[in-house]
Each structure stands twice: as structure tokens, then as C-alpha cells.
Amino acid sequence: MRNAFADEVTQMAQADPRVVLLSGEIGNRLFDKLRAQSPNQFLNCGVAEQNMMGVAAGMGLSGLRPIVYTITPFTTVRCLEQIKVDVAYHESPVIIVGTGSGLSYASLGPTHHSLEDFAIFRAIPNLQVLAPWDAPSLRACLRMALASGRPTYIRIGKKGEADLCKDQTVPAIGGGLTLHKGRQLCILAVGTVAHEANAAAGLISARGINAEVVITHTVKPSPTALYDDLIEKFEYFVTIEEHARIGGFGEDFQSYLAMQRLTRRVTCLGTRDAFMPVVGSQAFARTYFGIDAAAIVQAAQSILKD
Amino acid sequence: MSAAKPLSIQALETLAREIRFRTIRNSHLTGTPHLGSCLSCTDLLVWLYWNVLRLDPKNPQWPERDRFILSKGHAAPVLFQVLAERGFYPRADLENYGQDGSIFGEHPPTPDHLAGIEAATGSLGHGLPMGLGMALAARIQGQAYQVYAVLSDGECNEGSVWEAALMASAQKVQNLTLFVDYNKWQATGRSNEVLGLAPLAEKWKAFGWATAEIDGHSFEAMADALGGLSRDPRPKAIVFNTVKGKGIPLMEDDNNWHYRIPTADEVVQCANVLQIPHEQIALDGRTPIVHG
């Protein structure tokens, strides 16, 4: 996703002179093409994220379309007040991109994990929150964010994510993509952990369960039209996100059901209320927190048995 | 479309007296604090709005306008008076100041909500980075406007101020000028004791900024300092040595006026000091708004 990000931003900058990439001292060589092609549209802001976010907001209020890029914790909670006040309150059209989100940097420890960003940003007005799952969906999210002219946070992974879209079109903001059709229950995934849901589909099918797998990139605005469609079709749900269960996507889905006074059986998979004190690969970390394909299979079996 | 005809020092002084009085009167009527902080930068704001900033009050979004950010947003009560006097909105608009639903309170709202405002400040340390973004945007888009920001000395406690100082220096941002209202006080103590701010001008200089330090209540010194730095290719910082509560003997250098609200009698005393005709005091027997 990182390489797709650099390529897409380079194209966007070429097509639109308002696009400026602000990087927080990251991406060694990643943006060489952009810097060579449009030196005025790239700024390394150093290791100073509060300033970087304020600079981006000021640029957005002055006719530019800044894209802020660094590792997720540093482009989110490190400069949270600048996001709330300078970007969101002013409705400055800044695109905030966090790379290496969730547990992508599991081996770097909790300083580099981001499992609270959905929860925090859901509560900030004016902010769109998107979590694509592969290169094509990331490219689409960037373009939709730019076209919307709205402050937008895009949470991306690291590298090497396989394409899940295949020949399907990436849905608009608020939409979902069906990876596998099914009848008995719906697995609803957001962000890069959609790959675990995709992997779970085959395992579930082998156990004689007919599950639909739907993925979305939209955390905010709450994708209620998608929820409505799925609620009409399914009684059982497993939601999955690489984020804390507290305040996350699953909680949004459950609160929507509650507010609609609807009753469905829902299991929300997300990280428990704990830091991960040990290191490991992203796959290990997903297993550690019970948000891998095996955990989805188990949740699907359990919820149908209840 | 600009400060085409600079006002004389005498005219600036008259305006500053009137703005000071209206700010004090408003504080009494609406229970709005931070008078000391407002009075220390009143001269600076009057000078900027009448003799420096290129603005069109009838077209507040004029793309070529200079950008001004009151980064010490708690001095908004004086900025609101300045903007009204400068013609961004009628002074009558300020009549609902502080009432439920009013746009006029303790801090500037966003530009969408009030003509003449460039940034909603109030949380310290935000204005300089935003101003830096606006200054860089001018360079990227080939525009000629200048960006000015006023910071308080207490605000220089914030790390984000120094992050912006470093970046402005690295980027050689020529069209950014900041003024520090160095009144030597912050909310609860002497600014040099709370966080070791001195020597302040030397700090800006060390960060790579073209720097001057002046008597922050001398209009002549302000013009000289800005003129002297105008051709310097670096970002510019002018440290204004000011007096908190300036212009009112009973408030000067008394940090109680960071929060204190003047009584009706004190408003009359201030009017006398500022040579304001008594018919303009106009407290009208109104009951002041009292905040909890």
C-alpha cells in the first residue's frame, strides 16, 4: 500500500497543482519521483507532527489540498488537538494518512501500534474516516477524499497486501464490497484485516457454514445504508477490525442496531483492552489478539450454535 | 484595498484609547476576562490593522489579503473591537456579546463564522504553525501576501511554537512575521520564572529568524522595526516589550487582571484615564453577565 500511495499521490500532484504532500521525516526514497517531478508539492516537515498538522490546516485554508503522511501514531494521537482544532473545526480540506496502521508494526511495540484511532476520530465532527484494504481501494480512497474536499483520515497498512477487489469496483464512501456470497451469517470487515475475513471464508465453508463476507473502508460517516442492507438479509454477524473493540467499527454497528431497536446476533472481533507487551509479526499479533482467520471461524461457529 | 494611507501616530493613539475603553466596558458588561492580555497588545493590533495589513473589510476573503492570526486567542475581546472599527462588521453586532448563542465570546470563531478571522485560536501554540502553512501556500501558489501572527509570551511555553520556528527557518519563509507580546506575565506567574523564557529575542535569533526587540507601545518603534527587517530573507520575529494592562494605572503590571472583571466604578475610572467622554460610557444600568 505504501508504494501505491506514493504512486497515486505523484499522479494526483501532477494532475492537480493544489495537492501538496507533507511528510513527517519518513519514506526514504519513497517520494523521489514526486520530488523530482513537482519539487514545490513535497515538503519534509521533520519530526514535528504538531507543527506539520497545523501547517497542513493553514495550507488547506489557503487554497491547497495537503496530504499529511507519516506512521499512524504520529499522524493521529501525537497531534490530536491539531487535528481536532486546526483541521476538523476549520473544515480544512486536509487528507491525513497514517501508514503502518493497526498492528502492521507489531514488532516495534505498542508505541507504533494504532488501535484507538477509529474510536477517537469517530467522536470528532467534520472528519471522514476511511480504512482501505489493498492498493486499489487505497487509490480510490485518496481520490474520493480529494474530490470530497472534506477533512479525511485514511488508515493504511504497510506493504504487500494482495488485491481483494479483483475485477470489482471499489465502492463509494459508505459502501461495501461483497467478497463471498452467503446465507447463514455475515462477516463484516473493515480495513486491512479484511484479508483475514477473506481467508476465513474458505475455512468456514469447509465446515459447512455458508457465510457472506462483506468488506468496507468506511468508518465515518457511519455506513448506515450498508448496515441497512445487511441487517435486512442476515440474522447473525461477525464484525472484524484491527482496532480496539472499545469505540471501534463493531461498536458503531451495534449502536446502530440498538438505536434502530433491532435485534441481531453480533460478535465483534477487535483487540482487547490491553497493550501487547511482546513483539512478533503482524500475523502473530493478530493471533495474539484473536483477530485472525481462525478467530473469525471460531466466532462464526459459536454464534450459529448459540 | 489596503492600509493605503497610514494613520498618524496621534490618530493611532486616539484609536487605541477608544478600543481600550470599549474592551474594558465590554469586559464589565459581559464578564469577559483577559483584560490585561488584551491591553498589552491593543497598540500592536491597532498599528497592524490601520498601518500594516493589506485588507478589504468589504471583501474579507479577498485572495490577495494579508493574513493575520491572533495566536493568543484569549485577546479576542480586543480583536473583535478592532475588526468592528475597521469595518468588517457594524459595531452594533457586538451588542449581543457573550449572550447565549452569540459568536462573540472569549476566543475567535472560525473564518466561516466571522468576517476578518483567519483562524480559530484559543488553544495556544496553534496559530504559528497554521500561519506558516498559509505563508508556504503563498509561496507554492505564487501569491504575494504576507502572514502575521501575534503570540503571547506564555504561549511560547508550547513546543509546537518551536517546531514551527524550526520549519520556518529551514524553509526560509520570508513572508511570515510574528510578534511576541512580551508582557512578562502568564496566567499564574512571571513568564520568565514559570518556564525560563529569557532571553526571548535571542532564542528566536538562534532559531534562524531575523529578530528585533522593541518598546511594544511605541508606534514609531513598531514601524521602524518592521521596516528594518522587511528585506531580510528570513522569517521575522519582533519581540514587543509590553506592559500587561497597559494604559490603565490600576491594571498595569498587575496580573490579577488576567481574570478580574472591572466594576462599574472602575469602568468610569478607565474612561477618565482614557479621555473618553462620559456619554460614551453607556453602561445603561445593564446587569453584567456573570459566568460561573
Q: What are the structural domains, with CATH classification, of chain B?
A: 9-280 (3.40.50.970)
Residues A293 and A232 in one domain: yes
Average pLDDT over residues B54-60: 97
The average confidence (pLDDT) of chain B is 96
Residues A203 and A265 in one domain: yes
Interface of B with A (CB under 8 A): 63, 67, 110-112, 118-120, 123, 125-126, 128-138, 140-141, 159-160, 163-164, 166-167, 170-171
**Contact check, Cβ <8 Å, A82/B136:** no
Residues A107 and A225 in one domain: no
User: What are the chain A neighbours of B166 within 8 Å (beta carbons)?
Assistant: 46, 48, 51
Q: What is the pLDDT confidence band of residue B87, given thresholds at 50, 70 and 90? A: very high
Measure the CA–CA gap between A56 and A95, rounded to whole angstroms. 9
* Residue B219: predicted pLDDT: 98
Q: What is the pLDDT confidence band of residue A22, given thresholds at 50, 70 and 90? A: very high
Within a domain: residue A105?
Answer: yes
* Nearest residue in chain B measured CA to CA from A17: B141
List, for residues B230-262, the tens digit of each pLDDT value: 999 999 999 999 999 999 999 999 999 999 999
Residues A109 and A48 in one domain: yes
Residues A257 and A131 in one domain: no
List, for residues B260-269, the tens digit of each pLDDT value: 999 999 999 9
| Grid coordinates of A202 | 474458505
Backbone angles phi, psi at A98, to 5 degrees: -105, 125
Within a domain: residue A170?
Answer: no
Residues A257 and A135 in one domain: no
* Residue B287: predicted pLDDT: 78
Within a domain: residue A163?
Answer: no
User: What are the chain A neighbours of B119 within 8 Å (beta carbons)?
Assistant: 58, 61, 86, 90
**What is the least distance, in Å, from the CA of B98 to any CA of chain A?**
21
Residues A80 and A222 in one domain: no
Instruction: Examine the pLDDT at A96 and tell me if it is beyond 60.
Output: yes
Measure the CA–CA gap between A225 and A231, rounded to whole angstroms. 10
Q: What is the ipTM of this complex?
A: 0.96
Instruction: Examine the pLDDT at B291 and tell me if it is beyond 90.
Output: no
* Residue A27: predicted pLDDT: 82
* Residue B164: predicted pLDDT: 98
Question: Where in A61-180 does DSSP place strands (E)?
Answer: 65-71, 95-99, 128-130, 152-155, 176-180
Among residues A242, A238, A223, A214, the alpha carbon closest in space to that of A175 is found at A223
User: What are the chain A neighbours of B118 within 8 Å (beta carbons)?
Assistant: 61
Of residues A53, A58, A85, nearest to B131 (C-beta): A58
Percent of chain B with pLDDT over 70: 98
Instruction: Examine the pLDDT at B42 and tell me if it is beyond 80.
Output: yes
* Residue B2: predicted pLDDT: 52
User: What are the chain B neighbours of A89 within 8 Å (beta carbons)?
Assistant: 110, 120
Measure the CA–CA gap between B65 and B63, rounded to whole angstroms. 6
For chain A, what is the domain count? 2
Residues A130 and A197 in one domain: no
Measure the CA–CA gap between B242 and B177, rounded to whole angstroms. 18
Within a domain: residue A258?
Answer: yes
Cis amide leading into B129 (omega within 30): no
Instruction: Examine the pLDDT at A125 and tell me if it is beyond 70.
Output: yes
pTM passes above 0.95: yes
* Nearest residue in chain A measured CA to CA from B66: A62
Measure the CA–CA gap between B59 and B55, rounded to whole angstroms. 8
Among A156-170, A283-297, B65-79, whose mean pLDDT is lowest? Answer: A156-170
Give the count of Cβ contacts less than 8 A between chain A and B: 104
User: What are the chain A neighbours of B133 within 8 Å (beta carbons)?
Assistant: 54-62, 66
Within a domain: residue A166?
Answer: no
Percent of chain A with pLDDT over 90: 95
A48 interface with B at CB cutoff 8 Å? yes
Question: Where in B105-201 does DSSP place strands (E)?
Answer: 147-152, 176-182, 185-186, 189-190
List, for residues A137-150, the tens digit of each pLDDT value: 999 999 999 999 99
Q: What is the pLDDT confidence band of residue A67, given thresholds at 50, 70 and 90? A: very high
Instruction: Examine the pLDDT at B290 and tell me if it is beyond 90.
Output: no
A53 interface with B at CB cutoff 8 Å? yes
Which domain-ending residue is among A155, A188, A222? A155
Residues A33 and A67 in one domain: yes
8 Å CB contact between B226 and B177: yes
Instruction: Examine the pLDDT at B292 and tell me if it is beyond 70.
Output: no
Within a domain: residue A168?
Answer: no
Within a domain: residue A126?
Answer: yes
* Residue A306: predicted pLDDT: 73
CATH code at position A290: 3.40.50.920
Instruction: Examine the pLDDT at B1 and tell me if it is beyond 60.
Output: no
Residues A35 and A142 in one domain: yes
Within a domain: residue A164?
Answer: no
User: What are the chain A neighbours of B126 within 8 Å (beta carbons)?
Assistant: 54, 81-82, 85-86
List, in sequence order, the alpha helices (H) in A28-70: 32-37, 49-60
User: What are the chain A neighbours of B129 within 8 Å (beta carbons)?
Assistant: 50-55, 57-58, 82, 86
Of residues B120, B126, B141, nearest to A54 (C-beta): B126
* Residue B215 burial by Cβ neighbours in a 10 Å radius (0-12, 13-18, 19+): middle
**Contact check, Cβ <8 Å, A61/B138:** no
**Contact check, Cβ <8 Å, B130/A51:** no
DSSP state of B52: I
Among residues A163, A202, A178, the alpha carbon closest in space to that of A293 is found at A202
| Grid coordinates of A95 | 487528507
Measure the CA–CA gap between A50 and A44, rounded to whole angstroms. 14
Instruction: Examine the pLDDT at B3 and tell me if it is beyond 80.
Output: no
| Grid coordinates of B61 | 476573503
Residues A11 and A151 in one domain: yes
* Residue B11 burial by Cβ neighbours in a 10 Å radius (0-12, 13-18, 19+): middle
Percent of chain A with pLDDT over 70: 100
Q: What is the domain range of residue A28?
A: 2-155
| Grid coordinates of A210 | 455458508
A89 interface with B at CB cutoff 8 Å? yes
Q: What is the pLDDT confidence band of residue A260, given thresholds at 50, 70 and 90? A: very high
Instruction: Examine the pLDDT at B173 and tell me if it is beyond 90.
Output: yes
* Nearest residue in chain B measured CA to CA from A57: B130
**Contact check, Cβ <8 Å, B130/A40:** no
| Mutation target among B118, B136, B162 for the A interface, most CBs of A within 10 A | B136
* Residue in the block written with cell 495556544: B124
Residues A130 and A265 in one domain: no
* Residue B4: predicted pLDDT: 59
CATH code at position A28: 3.40.50.970
| Mutation target among A41, A51, A61, A86 for the B interface, most CBs of B within 10 A | A51
User: Please, what's the largest Cα pairwise distance for chain A?
Assistant: 60
Of residues A45, A46, A89, nearest to B120 (C-beta): A89
